[in-house]
Amino acid sequence: MSILVGYAPVLPEILLAVGAMALLMLGAFGPDNEKSGEQITWLALLLIVAAAALIVLQPPKTEQLFEGAFVVDRFSRFIKLLVLLGSAGALLLSVDYLKKKRLMKFEYAVLVLLSTVGMMMMVSANDLIALYLGLELQSMALYVLASMQRENLRSSEAGLKYFVLGALASGMLLYGASLIYGFTGSTSFPVIAGVAQAHDAAQNVGLIVGLVFLLVGLAFKVSAVPFHMWTPDVYEGAPTPVTAFFASAPKIAAMALLMRSLGVAFPGLEPQWLQIIWFVAIASMLLGSFAAIGQTNIKRLMAYSSIGHVGFALVGLAAGTHEGAQAVLIYLVIYIVMTLGTFACILSMRRGDEMIEEIDQLSGLAQTNLPMAFTLGMLMFSLAGIPPLAGFFAKLYVFSAAVQAGLFPLAVIGVLASVVGAYYYIRIVLIMFVKDPEEKFAPVSGKLGFVMAASLVFIFVFATPFVGGLIVDAAGAAAKSLRF
């Protein structure tokens, strides 16, 4: 019995993994129809809520399991709750779409659950092998989800492209991990940190080469420039609810992995990795802003938007301070809520059974469906970072952390990039409110309306001291457990 109590910190992961397998059996041996697929999706949602409850109920202390490979601390709990929020939101968004497109299969929910387990393992990874296994579990499920719509050529292409490039990134990451292991003699983050700190940079050249390759692999997973090429194609080709999932939970988990591996394993090489993060942050912000201008497909636009947002979040990491790490966490909270809300709007762009993805078709939405136009408009303003919406505070915290760390060029470039970004976000608002109306969209379903309303409320109430303060404090406490 005492052995079981020792495993209490991994209980949320065990619950999700065992639950996913139970649902798999239920789906495989139960009746094979759409209704059972939908029921299993709801059960999966219930499992996610239960896992989140278990995480909230965990005692607030740092615990290590499996010889230090798995660590549960404030940081991991904070990010895991965000990841679960993203997964639950993506599942909620997918029910109607999957029914319409006749894709309602029980495997969908099972794969989302297993991918979520992978993300939670990434967040808690304190060892190179744990890092890789979590990443691979997460990615493997995502490859399948991207090509779920197998009759659709674009969906299959998206899955294949993601798979091939993901395998390349995994190869880079493993090469880096093997170099790091070779030069330190351990895969455990704290041991690597000890070795890296015991010698100065000139003696650690091999380790730095390994670190660079590791960063390449992780940058691919957060889709930061110059490893972003897969993002627009995959986002456009994958079924829309899957795109919503891609843009939310996996990004959060990969950012968390980046923060923990750099903060815990490589504090001794900080000057080296800071340069890389600076470059990646600047390039992502600029490319995300400029490349999005010419887009006509809203899913592609969201892909470039997510690249830009990753750049902004990385500015906080580039500061390399406690405030910076806290700002990244705040940014991730706001980003995930805005993303889920925006995708709820995109999924509501439907006429009959046909999904609309062209931005021009939003024309005059304010006259045909004012609540939806208002929600999407506010989300766009928030993504652009206009006060007093939540997106403004996200950028404010990140840039003020950068300024406090003395990174004025980075902050200036960030502000300029967000001005350029504001152009294409506000263009959508103009199209909706000024232009002549197009044909009406189908009525918004209850589930999508719920997600939209929730995210709309969130971006408004974040400015209030209570909600904002709560999140800022939680993010600060979480960042502290990362040695930042």
Partner 1 sequence: MTLIAFFFYVFAVLCIASAAMVIIARNPVHAVLFLILAFFNAAGLFVLLGAEFLAMLLVIVYVGAVAVLFLFVVMMLDVDFAELKAGFIKNAPVGAVVGGIVLVELALLFIVHGFDLGTAGKLQAATPPIESGIANTEALGRLIYTKYVYFFQASGLILLVAMIGAIVLTLRHKEGVKRQSIAAQVARNPATAVEVVKVPSGSAIVPSSQGQNS
Among 8, 15, 50, 209, which residue sits at the site for partner 1 (rule: CB under 8 A)? Answer: 209
69 binding partner 1? (CB under 8 A): yes
Question: Is 104 a binder of partner 1 (CB under 8 A)?
Answer: no
Q: Is 440 in the site for partner 1 (CB under 8 A)?
A: no
Distances (CA, A) of 379 to 93, 267, 411, 414: 17, 37, 23, 20
- How far apart are CB 23 and partner 1 at their closest, in Å? 11
Q: Is 200 in the site for partner 1 (CB under 8 A)?
A: no
Q: CB pairs under 8 A, 24+ apart, for 152-157?
A: 152/237, 152/239, 154/236, 154/237, 155/237, 155/238, 155/239, 157/233, 157/237
Residue 35 and residue 220: Cα distance in Å, rounded?
37
3 state DSSP class of 125:
strand
DSSP secondary structure letters along 255-317:
HHHHHHIIIII-GGGHHHHHHHHHHHHHHHHHHHHHHTTT--BHHHHHHHHHHHHHHHHHHHH
Residues in Cβ contact with 259 at an 8 Å cutoff, skipping those fewer than 6 apart: 75, 317, 325, 328, 482
Residue 55 or 112 having the CB closest to partner 1? 112
Considering only residues 3 to 62 of the shown chain, the ones binding partner 1 according to CB under 8 A are: 17, 21, 24, 32
In the bound complex, what is the minimum distance in angstroms from residue 48's beta carbon to partner 1?
17
Which residue in 39, 186, 297, 368 binds partner 1 (CB under 8 A)? Answer: 186
**Which of 41, 76, 147, 418 is close enough to bind partner 1 by CB under 8 A?**
147
CB contact set of 434 (below 8 Å; sequence gap of 6+): none
Nearer to partner 1, 242 or 428 (CB): 242
| 274 sits near partner 1 (criterion: CB under 8 A) | no
Q: Does 191 bind partner 1 (CB under 8 A)?
A: yes
Work out whether 169 is an interface residue with partner 1 (CB under 8 A).
Answer: no
**Which residues, numbered 386-405, are part of the site for partner 1 (CB under 8 A)?**
none
**Minimum Å distance from CB 185 to partner 1?**
3
8 Å CB contact between 341 and 455: yes
- Using CB under 8 A as the binding rule, whether residue 207 contacts partner 1 is answered as yes
Distance (Å, rounded) from C-alpha 4 to C-alpha 285?
47
Contacts with partner 1, residue ranges (CB under 8 A): 17, 21, 24, 32, 65-67, 69-70, 105, 107, 110-111, 114-115, 117-118, 121, 129-130, 133-134, 136-137, 140-141, 143-144, 147-148, 150, 159, 182-186, 191, 195, 198-199, 203-207, 209
